Structure 1
């Protein structure tokens, strides 16, 4: 499969997912973006088009940790869970961003669940 075909397929999946889910201030959307090197997550309030909190594998405390990308992804999930708890958020809607629920995306979800988020 060519790269452009993969990207357009993933974009179509993203559109289908976003048509079904939306975040609010009380139950924001936990959006995951996975690049080849890093992973980024955001808590998004779609009603006000605002990002409430974010975390990534490029944050200084996570980037300084030893481990592979999958282990760092779990730390990113735990970091976003801590930030959500500080904001008083306990439940979120998970948006995998068109990626398969496998590998690093799954590790982010497991880390967020370990941190106390419910989705």
Structure 2
């Protein structure tokens, strides 16, 4: 089997384990996804599974504020700050962090720390 397929399946398996644990918490989930070029963050309601707040590097308003490449730690920092501000506007202050099986380092860590600094608790 191809190693990239094994890596992806391992990440999906880790993500499913996390989601099963988070389901019992009944809290809003901050779900992130990263690709080599972009970062995505969404806050999902645990009851209706609807996206309440989202932010990504694909948005034109966010791209204007990013000076360089959208797949680096600076952009993850900005996305974390943006998602936290939007969540606080909607009255969401506490979430559980769903990293979707991605390891907690680099851009994922930067996004989480930035969201915490901006007032989101998890």
Please give the TM-score of this superposition, normalised by the length of structure 2. Answer: 0.89
Superposition map of 1:26-105 within 5 A? 27-64=27-64, 65-68=66-69, 69-105=72-108
Alpha-carbon distance between aligned partners in 2 of 1:4 and 1:48, rounded to the nearest angstrom: 31
Tell me the CA shift for residue 60 of structure 1.
1.8
Match of residue 106 from structure 1 = 109
Q: Does 53-62 or 87-96 show the bigger shift?
A: 53-62
Tell me the CA shift for residue 38 of structure 1.
0.2
Tell me the CA shift for residue 63 of structure 1.
1.4
Where do 5+ consecutive residues of structure 2 fail to align? none
Alpha-carbon distance between aligned partners in 2 of 1:39 and 1:114, rounded to the nearest angstrom: 18
Aligned residue pairs, count? 117
Alpha-carbon distance between aligned partners in 1 of 2:8 and 2:46, rounded to the nearest angstrom: 24
* 1:108 aligned counterpart, secondary structure: helix
Alpha-carbon distance between aligned partners in 2 of 1:60 and 1:73, rounded to the nearest angstrom: 15
Where do 5+ consecutive residues of structure 1 fail to align? none
Alpha-carbon distance between aligned partners in 2 of 1:57 and 1:103, rounded to the nearest angstrom: 16
Tell me the CA shift for residue 99 of structure 1.
0.2
C-alpha RMSD over aligned residues: 1.4
Tell me the CA shift for residue 58 of structure 1.
1.6
Tell me the CA shift for residue 31 of structure 1.
0.1
The answer as to 2:118 corresponding to 1:115 is yes
* 1:21 aligned counterpart, secondary structure: helix
